[in-house]
Structure 1
Amino acid sequence: MPHIYTRFLSLDCEQLLEDPDFRQRALSVDASVRAHWTAWLDEHPAYRPTAEMARAILLAVDAPSPVTLPSPREKATDFAALLSRAQVAKERPLRRSRMLPFAAAAGLLLLIVAVFLLRPTAPTVYASNYGELREIVLPDGTVVNLNANSTLTIPTGGWTAEARTVLLDGEAFFAVKPQPAGDDLQPFVVRTRAAEVRVYGTRFNVRDRRGKTQVFLEEGAVSVGWAQGGLPETPLLPGEVLDLTAGAGTAERQKAEEPAALVAWKTGRLVFSERPLAEALESLGDLYGVVLTCPDDAVAQRVISSAGIPVDDLELALQLLEKALNLKVERVENSKVYLVHSAE
């Protein structure tokens, strides 16, 4: 075994990144060099995590689609939260975030975290913050618009020859890339806590919030099964919407009255047509990570129609509500709770 490998044992991750001998061997495509590299790691398993992490960073830097560094807001969270919300390659934010320079030490540490999560043995997690929309391109070319305060995960072993499986917590719109004719059909599966949506190439919206699951089909065909059983698998036709409330004995399938309103959030706005104020407040609370409560039931049941409440500007959204319904919105000091009253 070449002595140069033994010298690497005295180097930490940052030192390995700057070592020309390590860079040459870690990135080499020569079969004999790769064989020596693998054998050396097998002989020094305790050092494998350090060496593999350094190599992963080098590969990410040289890759055509670099890893996206977490935003300053994500950087400020604790380490566990950062791991759960780290973004991966090919994710394109719809709302620009300021990024730290790669050369900065803090940026390098965050890049290590993000790249390490790209290892095949770990789940791949895409997440959006409160008041933030993201567009994601999955390995098969499927495009996903992720609504605010939502997480999409490719679980370990989720991308196989049998199915392309993702887990959704929140809301997302999927434009599943159709498969070439003649191939064995590999369904695309979206799982929430309550449902499993199985498709082969279509456009649809899935929402999973507050114990309620909703599936809206824009085009193509989907089939919805249920995690708890007891309900028959339900096919949907274009323009249909399916609603299930946790604990309900049936799923309600019907023609969507205003389909455009169900997916308007993709353009950065919420659309309400003759809906109770309480429903609008819940939707805004989900997207912004706040609690909007209306103590007066009569006010909570006021009907609201709006052509576009923004999903990325809480202050503006609340101002629009105040003007549209003659309301007064007050924040409880040092909290994320807002009280909504009649301004009269």
Structure 2
Amino acid sequence: MKPTKELLFTYFAGQATSVQQKVIGEWLTDAGSRETYFQWLDEWERSFPQYVPDVARHLDEFRQRLDTPLHEQVPLVRQLPAEPRPFLTSGGWLVAASVALLLLAGGWLFREPLLYKTVTTGARQLRSLRLPDGSTVALNSNSSFRMPRLGYGWLSRRVTLTGDAVFDIKHLTNNQPFVVQTADGLAVEVLGTEFSVRSRSARAEVVLKRGKVNLQYTPANQPTQNVLMKPGDRVTLDGKGALRLQARADTTQFAHWRYRLFSFNDTSLREVASQIQSVFGVTVQLSDPALARRTLTGTIRAGSSDELADALAELLNLRVSHRDQYIMLSTPSETQINQ
């Protein structure tokens, strides 16, 4: 099947589906089709240039250089020796080896952006992504999502996540699994489902809303752990490297961060402070260790760390002070003594 020019333009823009990419890949196996491919690529790049020069500005700068005489003399060109010297002397071999090493090192260092596409969110930033196979990803603040640039959907659907994300995965006719790999070694394999993944320094967590998920975790020098999740299950990776399954968990509060809702169920203030830091990138300090053991139950809507801290202070009768990227929570009596 020969793809149309419109389909190739969609592919050049990075909007082709996995089926369309496969059609184009099969078409390119014919050597005669490659000339047409590069002709259409040249036409697309001319229609949608990646860089548009400011001709008027550069022409004006050139004219100014012509009108302004240079007082410095142009250095004379050094004459080459009459007899050519061999390049591959002992020093020449050293230079050639150094250049080759630099080229190899450059290719190794820049292989990541060439092979993978990475999307990163900052503090207080949410982002929704639509993948080429029709799947969707919702990224929380301070999160990073990586996917392969080539062959996604027909070679591999393995992605990498750091932070929080909600996945809504489409089932493919070739039954190719979708795998989320986290930095702590947890692999989440699905065929078609909706689930959330959290992968941060504190712990990893997977909550399944619908469908089926298989978790695989291989700690160092320990046997592989496998957990098959059903809708309503919640699995956490504890500090000892063990997967903990909580069946029939409360999924009514499924990934409330997408709507800037923060839900707590007998949650300690220490853990609340950790959540604020992971979502908004600020540091929350508790003036008294006893405050860390106080718990909170409820749902708070907040679009910033300041709003959430003010709501916590009102609910728990605390004093809050904001300073750059730091928030201090203290009891009213402590504030009076410090004053």
**Is the pair's TM-score, using the shorter chain for normalization, greater than 0.5?**
yes
Aligned counterpart in structure 1 of residue 262 of structure 2, from 270, 274, 299: 270
Change in CA separation of 1:197 and 1:35 when aligned onto 2, cut-off 3 Å:
closer
**Is residue 201 of structure 2 the alignment partner of residue 210 of structure 1?**
yes
**Is residue 160 of structure 2 the alignment partner of residue 171 of structure 1?**
no
Change in CA separation of 1:213 and 1:33 when aligned onto 2, cut-off 3 Å:
closer
Secondary structure of 2:301's partner? Answer: strand
**Is residue 182 of structure 2 the alignment partner of residue 189 of structure 1?**
no
1:255 Cα deviation from its structure 2 partner: 1.9
Secondary structure of 1:260's partner? Answer: coil
Aligned counterpart in structure 1 of residue 322 of structure 2, from 325, 331, 340: 331
TM-score norm. by structure 2 comes to 0.63
Percent of pairs with identical residues:
26
Residue type of the partner of 1:251? L
CA contact (8 A) 2:267 2:295 kept: yes
Paired position in structure 2 for 1:153: 146
Secondary structure of 1:186's partner? Answer: coil
Paired position in structure 2 for 1:67: none
1:211 Cα deviation from its structure 2 partner: 4.0
**Is residue 134 of structure 2 the alignment partner of residue 141 of structure 1?**
yes
Paired position in structure 2 for 1:260: 252
1:196-240 residue CA offsets vs partner (Å, 9 max, x unmatched): 100000010000112411011111000011153534211111100
Secondary structure of 2:142's partner? Answer: coil
1:157 Cα deviation from its structure 2 partner: 5.1
1:253-286 residue CA offsets vs partner (Å, 9 max, x unmatched): 1125422234111222111122111111110111
CA contact (8 A) 1:136 1:145 kept: yes
Paired position in structure 2 for 1:289: 281
Report the count of equivalent residues: 239
CA contact (8 A) 1:151 1:169 kept: yes
* RMSD over equivalenced CA pairs, Å: 3.1
Residue type of the partner of 2:145? L
Residue type of the partner of 1:146? L
Change in CA separation of 1:245 and 1:283 when aligned onto 2, cut-off 3 Å:
same
1:60 Cα deviation from its structure 2 partner: 7.0
User: Please, which moves more after superposition, 256-265 or 133-142?
Assistant: 256-265
1:185 Cα deviation from its structure 2 partner: 0.8
Aligned mates of 2:311, 2:237 — CA distance in 1: 30
TM-score norm. by structure 1 comes to 0.62
Secondary structure of 1:261's partner? Answer: coil
**Is residue 122 of structure 2 the alignment partner of residue 129 of structure 1?**
yes
Larger radius of gyration: 2
Change in CA separation of 1:37 and 1:131 when aligned onto 2, cut-off 3 Å:
closer
Aligned mates of 1:56, 1:234 — CA distance in 2: 52
What are structure 2's unaligned runs of at least 5 residues? Answer: 1-32, 52-109, 334-339
Residue type of the partner of 2:223? G
Aligned mates of 1:147, 1:315 — CA distance in 2: 18
1:34 Cα deviation from its structure 2 partner: 6.1
Paired position in structure 1 for 2:16: none
Change in CA separation of 1:222 and 1:31 when aligned onto 2, cut-off 3 Å:
closer
Aligned mates of 2:291, 2:322 — CA distance in 1: 17
